[in-house]
Structure 1
Amino acid sequence: MTEQRIDLGLAASTPRSGGCGDACGCGHGGAAAATSDAPEATTTHVLRVDGMTCAHCVRAVTDELNAVPGVRVVDVDLRAGETSLVRVSSTGVATSDDLAAAIDEAGYTLV
């Protein structure tokens, strides 16, 4: 079983805690600044894909999915000869239809 995880390095920064405001001089600006660093909401889609048999297949699917606007992370659990699982973390920009089209474009079947 081959697993490939591609992290695009887009992890959001962690908001700092504390309600000391600007008076302490720590530079984080209090609670208002913490909310401005809040990570963007993401959705995880679990796709079942038939026809993948090797690392080339994983790369083809990963490349097509990464081309979809809003996709942050693609994680493929290759199960050669079976249905593979593809987890896609994305913002609200990427729809299920966009992801299905990317799988189709790569030449594989979404189950």
Structure 2
Amino acid sequence: MMNVVAKYMPTILTRSSAVLNSVSRELQQQRGIRVQVRDGNLERALSLMQKKMQSSGIERLIKSEQSHHIKNSEKRVLARKARERTVQSQQFSRVLKSLLDKKVRGL
């Protein structure tokens, strides 16, 4: 019995550490972004915070929730970018569908 436990202990430990890591990430997301100021270097801490905000998507959420006036030129740019994303997505789905059809047919 001890041999069985010893045999599976590394997999149990790695799985439990993976679960703990995912739980800690979720807790960190609920708490928000934290940055330590080291050696009184506030500029470095601010740049790190900005990078973390960009990578986590918080910056996009904040910008999307802003309720200030958006100029018409900005609206046009945003609409054009949205159209381009839609067209690219449709083109990609067409290409993917044709490739899958060829693969299914065996061509």
Note whether the superposition's TM-score is higher than 0.5.
no
Q: Say which structure, 1 or 2, has more relative contact order (CA 8 Å, 6+ apart).
A: 1
Q: Where is the strand percentage greater, Structure 1 or Structure 2?
A: 1
**Superposition TM-score tier, normalisation by shorter sequence:** under 0.3
Rg comparison, structure with higher value: 2
Q: Where is the helix percentage greater, Structure 1 or Structure 2?
A: 2
